[in-house]
Amino acid sequence: MHDSNVFSGDNGRPLVVFLMGPTASGKTDLAIALHQRLPMDIISVDSALVYRGLDIGSAKPDAAELAQAPHRLLDLRDPAEPYSAADFREDALQAIAEIHGAGRIPLLVGGTMMYFKALLEGFADMPAADAGVRAAIEADAERHGWPWVHRQLAAVDPEAAAQIHPNHSQRLSRALEVYRVSGETMTALRERQERQAQDLRQRFDVVQVAIMPRQRKVLHERIERRFRRMLEQGFLAEVEALHRRPELHRDLPAIRAVGYRQVWEYLDGDCSYEEMVERGIAATRQLAKRQLTWLRGWPELHIIYTDTEAGQNRQNFELLNEFLNFLPKLPL
């Protein structure tokens, strides 16, 4: 077993590697190739793969793929149980520690950009909106005016109040609501998030790589082929099994996952089969568009372009060799 500090980055800290990219870009195949070539263990970064029973429609690695390259953070929750970005951050840090403890390199693979962001920048666990508290604040504003509400905020969270104009009703209301619901100020929650981010940077050398096509048409074609292939593999039957469970409904995060939501709507009678297929493909393309938007603005990101159909089908070792260019020299 290697010492956990053997595989370190240029700054001497333990290495953590991100493999990002839009849906259907080939991340899983490349991750398996990396695992087989290097002392890397895979951590899934995907908000659908955490749910048991969401297999075909989430493109979850199958048994053969998992035999080649085990993935952590799969099948953590029943679809009836929500899983948050904060949950992911806690689980991912634990997995990273275990992999480093085994003398190996954590390879975080997926397309759920909010999860990557929560891990990298920390997570300000702001409380959910409370209609009753919000109504009470608005009633006070109606009675006394928003400057009066601003003074109430200044009494408990002067830092936040200093950054909010006394007549900015929405921001004022939210900042005061956060304090009244959680007992913590918005300033304190944000400072905790900043400490988490600093802690991660101080502990690890994080190398971030994304694979993506330069031509969106290539990705759109891959998405359509994959969605139709999922249906051939039994995606409809998979969602039918979920649909029969009375405790599951379309507002749950698991059922809102791209593809699952559209098949669920078909099973509810909201659209025809053909409309479901088109909606599923369109929703997946919209997901890819959002992921690409995130990635284009992502700091410190190395990008490997797969420009054409031929490029998408290159042997994994070619992509792998490009990937290795971004890693520090490893003492293998």
Model pLDDT for residues 270-321, shown as the tens digit of each residue: 999 999 999 999 999 999 999 999 999 999 999 998 765 444 444 566 788 8
Share of the chain above pLDDT 90, in %: 71
Q: Grade residue 32 by pLDDT with cuts at 50, 70 and 90.
A: very high
pLDDT higher at 316 or 72? 72
What DSSP state is assigned to residue 110?
E
pLDDT, mean of residues 226-242: 98
Q: Grade residue 1 by pLDDT with cuts at 50, 70 and 90.
A: very low
One CATH from 1.20.200.10, 1.10.20.140, 3.40.50.2000, 3.40.50.1000 for 131-192? 1.10.20.140
Q: From CA 254, how far away is CA 243, in angstroms rounded?
A: 12
The whole-model pTM stands at 0.80
Mapped onto helix, strand or coil, the DSSP state of residue 258 is coil
What local confidence, expressed as pLDDT, does residue 4 receive?
Answer: 43
What local confidence, expressed as pLDDT, does residue 234 receive?
Answer: 98
What local confidence, expressed as pLDDT, does residue 317 receive?
Answer: 67
What local confidence, expressed as pLDDT, does residue 9 receive?
Answer: 67
Q: From CA 189, how far away is CA 194, in angstroms rounded?
A: 9
**Domain 15-123+213-324 in this protein, CATH class:** alpha beta
Q: From CA 227, how far away is CA 99, in angstroms rounded?
A: 33
Q: Tokens at residue 240, please?
A: 């039918």
pLDDT, mean of residues 205-232: 94
* Residue 235: closest CA among 273, 187, 290: 273
Tell me, yes or no, if the two domains 15-123+213-324 and 131-192 fold the same way. no
What local confidence, expressed as pLDDT, does residue 51 receive?
Answer: 98
pLDDT, mean of residues 38-46: 97
Could you report how far apart the first and last alpha carbons of the chain are, in Å? 12
> What is the residue-wise DSSP string for 11-72?
TSSBEEEEEE--TTSSHHHHHHHHHHHSSEEEEEE-TTTTBTT--TTTT---HHHHHHS-EE
Q: From CA 27, how far away is CA 323, in angstroms rounded?
A: 12
Does pLDDT of 155 surpass 90? yes
Q: From CA 150, how far away is CA 289, in angstroms rounded?
A: 39
Domain definitions of the chain by residue range: 15-123+213-324, 131-192
Share of the chain above pLDDT 70, in %: 91
What local confidence, expressed as pLDDT, does residue 164 receive?
Answer: 93
What local confidence, expressed as pLDDT, does residue 284 receive?
Answer: 98
Does pLDDT of 60 surpass 80? yes
Q: From CA 196, how far away is CA 201, in angstroms rounded?
A: 9
Given the structure tokens 């990008």, which residue do they identify? 303
Does pLDDT of 331 surpass 70? no
